[in-house]
Amino acid sequence: MSTIVINVDDKSSIKLFIDLARKLHYKARVLTADEKEDFALCSIMDERLTEPSLPVESALDILSPIK
């Protein structure tokens, strides 16, 4: 399974994309702000996974802009 994320600014565009996806028999839904934040955090964690251990101060510096 693959996932596509499309950022739109207005509700009519959201409705258009969701209707199109459903018409093509794909599942579609709108992510909440919390789900988008979780996705961003997981992406950062995946990027950092292969790096050597990080001091706590450095980790806090990386995470502080996300608050």
- Hey, where are the domains in the chain? 1-30, 31-67
pLDDT at 67: 56
Would the pTM count as exceeding 0.75?
Answer: no
Spell out where 4-52 has E strands.
none
pLDDT, tens digit, for every residue of 38-54? 989 998 888 878 777 77
pLDDT, tens digit, for every residue of 4-60? 889 898 999 999 999 999 999 999 999 999 999 998 999 888 887 877 777 888 888
39: Cβ–Cβ under 8 A, 6 or more apart, which residues?
31
